[in-house]
Amino acid sequence: MHVIGPQNGQRRDHLTPEHCSSDREHWSAPGRLAVGKARRRPSSWLQAKDWDMHVTDLEYVAESVGFRDLRERVLGLARLRATDRVLDVGAGTGLLALAAAPHAASVHALDVSPAMCSHLAGKFDRSGISNARVLLGNATDIPLADGAVDVVISNYCFHHLGDGEKGRALAQIMRVLRPGGRLVIADMMFRIAGASGRDLALSARFARRMIRRGPAGVLRLLKNVIRVLSGCGDQPADVDWWRETLVRAGFVDVSVASLAHEGGIACARKPASPVRLPGE
């Protein structure tokens, strides 16, 4: 088993693109996996989600058309080479890591959920992938040496981090990238309480979708509102925030684009030589 570096903490990882349902009742996949269902513990929806209990959910979502499309977009923009050392931040059940491994020299799959790491390590073993290993750790404290990787990729991880945590994670990514290394991040890219036309349209679209589902949908909508107000909900940042923060972190060749759903993709590169950051 390829699990490296035990570390405690709540997992913060993938949710679905808008056209993939994130309701647990719609994620159910009887017989698909045993992990996550039998061990589920009661929990309050006002607490941070215990992602150890949701391996089955994320495995099912990773098979959706929306996430497979994101995978192809991310890996296409990453332009992997046979000599590249890759880090997948918030690897989950391996959507990106499994696809990247055949095209790279090595893959580090970072996740903070022990159950998710064990599950992915088993998938590496069963697939005969020998150039990938799982790292148990946090995006804000990546357990790799400076300049250890050539490419960093991530899919739907960062919206579970506050803006400050996102900034610290980007600083860690800058540290572990070699000079000239590449970064590609797919994530929710809008503000839940934002005032831009896109923010308002996405929030209204979600509200309408929940209302059409009747009482259960309305209840979920109210729970989401309370979770956001209490600080327990998703915390996505918009395209402008990503662009400005990547530049402020010292990345160059920054490109951030919104997608047709609530997602977006950010691409950037670590400078080949040291540069002075804004404000220094």
For the stretch 117-129, pLDDT in tens is 999 999 999 999 9
Residue 182 lies in a domain: yes
Spatial distance between the Cα atoms of 238 and 136, rounded to a whole number of angstroms: 28
99 and 46 within one domain: yes
Return the H-helix or E-strand segment holding 171.
helix 163-176
Residue 69 lies in a domain: yes
160 and 221 within one domain: no
Res 56: pLDDT: 82
89 and 28 within one domain: yes
CA angle 222, 227, 229 (to 5 degrees): 95
Enter the tokens of residue 256: 């951030």
Task: Check residues 240 and 38 and name the one with the higher pLDDT.
Answer: 240
Spatial distance between the Cα atoms of 93 and 57, rounded to a whole number of angstroms: 10
* Residue 1 pLDDT class (50, 70, 90 cuts): very low
222 and 203 within one domain: yes
Residue 109 lies in a domain: yes
Enter the tokens of residue 131: 């150039």
101-126 mean pLDDT: 96
217 and 252 within one domain: no
Cβ atoms of 9 and 49 within 8 Å: the answer is: no
Residue 152 lies in a domain: yes
The pTM of the full predicted model, rounded to 2 decimals, is 0.75
88-110 mean pLDDT: 97
Of 238, 95, 219, 212, nearest to 158 (Cα)?
238
216 and 174 within one domain: no
Res 216: pLDDT: 74
Name the residue range of residue 83's domain. Answer: 3-190+236-269
Spatial distance between the Cα atoms of 214 and 104, rounded to a whole number of angstroms: 47
261 and 178 within one domain: yes
103-109 mean pLDDT: 98
Residue 280 lies in a domain: no
Spatial distance between the Cα atoms of 258 and 188, rounded to a whole number of angstroms: 9
Of 4, 3, 1, 2, nearest to 143 (Cα)?
4
- The residues, any chain, with a CB within 8 Å of residue 149's CB and separated by 6 or more, are 85, 86, 87, 108, 176, 177, 178, 181
| Number of domain units in the chain | 2
Spatial distance between the Cα atoms of 96 and 90, rounded to a whole number of angstroms: 10
Enter the tokens of residue 187: 């994530």
CATH of the domain at 112: 3.40.50.150
Res 18: pLDDT: 42
Task: Check residues 110 and 225 and name the one with the higher pLDDT.
Answer: 110
Residue 275 lies in a domain: no
Sheet-wide strand order for 132-136: 3-4, 132-136, 106-111, 85-89, 149-155, 177-188, 263-269, 252-258
218 and 265 within one domain: no
**HSE of 241 in the Cβ direction (CA atoms, 13 Å)?**
20
204 and 93 within one domain: no
Residue 279 lies in a domain: no
204 and 72 within one domain: no
74 and 104 within one domain: yes
Cβ atoms of 78 and 184 within 8 Å: the answer is: yes
Residue 26 lies in a domain: yes
* Residue 226 pLDDT class (50, 70, 90 cuts): low
263 and 170 within one domain: yes
Minimum mean pLDDT range among 81-85, 173-177, 202-206, 272-276: 202-206
Cβ atoms of 180 and 270 within 8 Å: the answer is: yes
